[in-house]
Amino acid sequence: ENEPLLRSDYKARTQKELPVLMRWFPRDQLEKALGDVPKAAYLDIILYSRDQINKEREARGDTSGQDETAPWGIVSIKPTDFDYETPMQPITMMRNALGKDQGGSGVSLENSKYQEAVEFWSNHATVGE
């Protein structure tokens, strides 16, 4: 019933990253169709080690944050209604498999995890602006 509201577009998180195909439900359209959009029951906090953050910044030529000493950094906060860790979105896995200079983390794509993510995200989408 909400599929007609689903949107997609090519987006980059920063100017130094390649745009990738994203899909989401626009919050304002959901509110018009369904009323209030419920708040997420949980937050999934994604952390990267300081070493990984520094490697990615260096690959992009980003000199900000060089004085940071915290051992971990928050790279994403994902609201969710699931009380378990959901699979990473397939496009995020693909982006991560890119070189660090393209906005990826350099982590190889694992076929089984990718297939699990496709199965999950074929039936789910995020809420965005």
Q: What was the pLDDT predicted at 67?
A: 86
Q: What was the pLDDT predicted at 78?
A: 93
Q: What is the pLDDT along the chain (129 residues), one digit of tens a residue?
A: 788 999 999 998 888 788 889 999 999 999 998 888 889 999 999 999 999 888 888 888 888 888 889 999 999 999 999 999 999 999 999 988 987 777 778 889 999 999 999 999 999 999 998
- With a CB cutoff of 8 Å and minimum separation 6, the contacts of 13 are 103
